[in-house]
Structure 1
Amino acid sequence: MKKAFSCYLDLVRFLAALLVVMDHFVAYRIVSPAQAQWLPQWGREAVVTFFVLSGFVIAHAAQSRQQSLAQYAAARAARLYSVALPALVLAFGAAYLVQAHLAVPMHDAYQVQKWFVYLPFHALYLGELWRFSETPVWLGAYWSLGYEAWYYAFFGVLYFLRGRTRLVALALILLVMGYKLWLLLPVWYSGVLLWRWYGRWPITAGLARAGMLLAPVLLFFYLHWQGEMVLRALAEAYWPWPAWPLGSADRVLGDYLIGLLVLLNFYCALHARLSTPEWLVQVGRVLAFYTFPLYLAHSLVMSSWLALRPSAQGGGEEVLVIAAIVLATWLFGQLSRPLRTALERSLLALWQGLCEAGGGVRGWLGK
């Protein structure tokens, strides 16, 4: 992958996280109504961008690094859990303390009371399977991980396994995933297809740069004219199984359209002959590193802030909240770096030990 395009993806990734944060500033009512009208509420569109980008990057990494299935699984698990596990533990721990010692009423109190059930439930990314619709306490942005983690598993099986083993494993993963994840799988997998096919139909640099600009312009008009609401209503009206609610997949038609616009932008960026100064490449890498910590830390900060200070709703403390989000993001990032390395090494060592134990058993049985 060319350095300039990689930098572009890093910047897009961080911008998408900022859009989620701004959307939640409005949704959590951290800002006043007057301020809210100036903030873009494009959080869902940002998540769709994450999905397409994730599929592209995962396909690139699997091919360029020549990983085995074990290396791929360890790398993906370490990447997710290095941020998700501290966020889960901190969210449940802080919510427990607030509920137990400050007597603050909580919407998700049932999760805190049965933390021994819900903590492992969310650690296994089960919150969006089939008819489940559960997000961890104080981690509203966590829902998308319930999609992405299973898409990682789907791709790993599809890419690394062969023959009947692959077919059986894919069938089992799809069976576990459920209909909501099936509906959005094409959005994520479109990024994989982009990686595989982007060189088949080259375009001129001038046309590519025009296409890069066209995609956000079309997105702006789609949102300005409330196309998302129209497509969301259509999806709910024509969904044939009302007993199986769409839940977090109720914007599936709009997600397909946004996914196509993101694909257009990325495809054109790949052929636009981008040129990026080295300092911006370095900035992009730093911002990309803190994107995932920001994505989870901000909702934890907002939720805990409002639990302790309900008067913050409606504005007045947004600067303090922003400062707390920046600090929490930095702390999560600093913690995730060594934790990711340790998790990846531990998972690979565990797999190696299991393989050696299995070989020993087979050898003993052979005797």
Structure 2
Amino acid sequence: MTWLALSDDDPFDAWTLPYGVFSVAGGSPRVGAAVGSWVLDLAPLAGADLFAHPTLNPFLAAGRPVWDAVRARLLELVTDPRHRDLVSPHLVPAADVTLRLPFEVADYVDFYASQTHAENVGRLFRPANPALPAAWRQLPIGYHGRAGTVVVSGTAVARPSGLRRAGGPGSPVEFGSSLRLDIEAEAGFVVGAPSALGSPVPVGAFEDHVFGMVLVNDWSARDIQAFEYVPLGPFLGKSFATSVSAWVVPLAALAHARVAPPPRSPAVASYLRDAEPWGLDVSFEVEWNGTVVSRPPLRSLYWTPAQMLAHLTVNGASLRTGDLYASGTISGPRPGGSGCFLELTWNGAEPVTLADGSSRAFLLDGDTVTIRATAPGPAGGRIALGEVTGTVHP
């Protein structure tokens, strides 16, 4: 319950309370929390030392006890009518704000945690070899991306160029704009509390370090990727843009979404053994030029975010405030569950028809993709987790 007048069309309810960075009419960026059709300006209500900044990083660095205390205070402020007069002057209409990249990205790592996606990509790119890489069931495979190309939802995405083959395998190599531009629907996890170099973070310490979740679209140039990725993996085909949602949903808001991960075989190494069930029942929706074309399920991920974090640091790599790591493409069984257009159209062999009657295999200039997600909430229904959107430019 809340004293705020909320409608079913509002993007966030009074439970989710995600954090972001906003500005109004050219004013200085500062931290807010989204609720209903408003943004709650946090500096006057929860402390200028944490929130009068153009980034969430000072708050992220404060650690779990502070995160929990602030969330408890915000829940009290928006649910107890005694606080109406205190809160009301600091509610800014969401329609009046400009949203910014919510945190300064320190490092970016992308994983490959969906078995369905990994098997599909293996069948498409390596048809003569086993679908899954040899180590895939032993550890969460990932690669380092470019932190400087992480952009906030709504940022235009320029079509990348690189070396690619003119046709099928064995055809001439040429330089040019990607002709197979794709998306990847992913869940991203934002690190708050850092760790020391040389000190691995165990799976049981996941909640001590990870603040919350964002929605991710890891734009991918499949023709550039296909030519370059052997033997070292993704590089230019991935590093030109990664879009994230403007609002970071705290882990506490996902308490009702936690589920047991799928069975693993063979048994995982000791450092990857689950301490708690950190599978997440989050449902994604991919919209292409206004047409919903896919609904990927996060709960199908083979590796949980806690295991990804443990693997990321097991060699002694340190965490920094603002580190972002993502799940990799989330895909369920075809049709209807693919988290990228490579799978959805089976590498272009099965184009999709959009609501306007046009046919697509990969992205054309002017195309817009929006990814949304929901999760179980405290009242038995589902809560919205925001959206990440982007339009392709030449």
* TM superposition score category, shorter chain reference: under 0.3
- The alignment's TM-score, normalised by the length of structure 1, stands at 0.23
- TM-score, structure 2 as length reference: 0.22
- Compare relative contact order (CA 8 Å, sep 6+) and give the higher one, 1 or 2: 1
Q: Which of the pair is proportionally richer in strand?
A: 2
